[in-house]
Chains A and B, each alone.
Chain A
Amino acid sequence: MRMAHTITLVLLGGGVMLGGAAMMMPSTGAARQRECQEARAQARPDADQICASARSSSTRTGGGLFFAGGGGTRGPALAGATGFRGDPSASSRGGFGGVGRAFSSSGG
Chain B
Amino acid sequence: MERRTLEPRPDRRERARRMGFAFADVAGEPYWDESAYYRFTEGEIDALEAATAEIERISRAAVAHAVANDLNGPLGIPDGAWPIVKRSWERAEPSLYGRLDLRWDGTGEPKLLEYNADTPTALFEAAVVQWEWLQCLDDGRGPELHDQFNGLHEALIAAWGRIGLPPTVHFCCDGSSVEDRGTVDYLRDTAIQAGHEAPFLTMEEIGWNGVVFTDLEDRPIEAMFKLYPWDWLLREAFGANIAKARTRWIEPAWRLIPASKAFLSLIWHLFPDHPNLLAAHLEPGLTGGPEIAKPIWGREGSNISAPGIETDGPYADQPRVWQAYAELPRFGGRYPVIGSWIIDGAPAGIGIREDSTPVTRDTSRFVPHLFD
Q: Report A's interface with B, CB cutoff 8 A.
A: 1-4, 7-14, 16, 18-19, 23-24, 26-27, 38, 42-46, 49, 53, 59-70, 72-90, 92-108
Beyond A2-B150, A9-B20, A92-B208, 19 additional pairs, beta carbon < 8 A: A12-B21, A12-B182, A24-B15, A27-B18, A42-B201, A63-B25, A66-B22, A67-B362, A79-B76, A81-B235, A82-B80, A83-B79, A85-B235, A88-B237, A95-B236, A101-B176, A105-B177, A105-B180, A106-B173
Given A11-B185, A78-B231, also A19-B131 (CB < 8 A) = yes
Q: Is the CB of B17 within 8 A of A53?
A: yes
Q: Is the CB of A79 within 8 A of B318?
A: yes
Q: Is the CB of B189 within 8 A of A9?
A: yes
- Determine chain A's interface SS by DSSP, over half rule: loop
Of B20, B81, B132, B180, the contact of A106 (CB 8 Å cutoff) = B180
Instruction: Tell me the nearest residue of chain A to B198, going by C-beta.
Output: A11
Q: Is the CB of B205 within 8 A of A93?
A: yes
Q: Is the CB of A42 within 8 A of B200?
A: yes
Q: A1 to nearest B CB, angstroms? A: 5
Q: Interface size for chain B: under 10, 10 to 19, 20 to 34, or 35 or more residues?
A: 35 or more
The 6 closest A-B pairs by CB, nearest first: A95-B238, A83-B80, A12-B20, A107-B121, A86-B237, A97-B203
Tell me the number of A-to-B contacts counted with CB atoms below 8 Å: 278
Given A64-B27, A107-B227, also A16-B237 (CB < 8 A) = no
Q: Mark B55-97, 1 if CB is under 8 A from A, else 0.
A: 0000000000000000000001011110000000000000000
Q: Is the CB of B120 within 8 A of A108?
A: yes
Given A62-B23, A62-B24, A97-B202, also A105-B235 (CB < 8 A) = no
Of A4, A18, A77, A107, the contact of B180 (CB 8 Å cutoff) = A107
B220 at the interface (CB under 8 A from A): no
Instruction: Tell me the nearest residue of chain B to A101, going by C-beta.
Output: B174
Q: Bound complex: CA of A100 vs CA of B362, how far in Å? A: 16
Chain B residues positioned under 8 Å from A104 (CB to CB): 176-177, 362
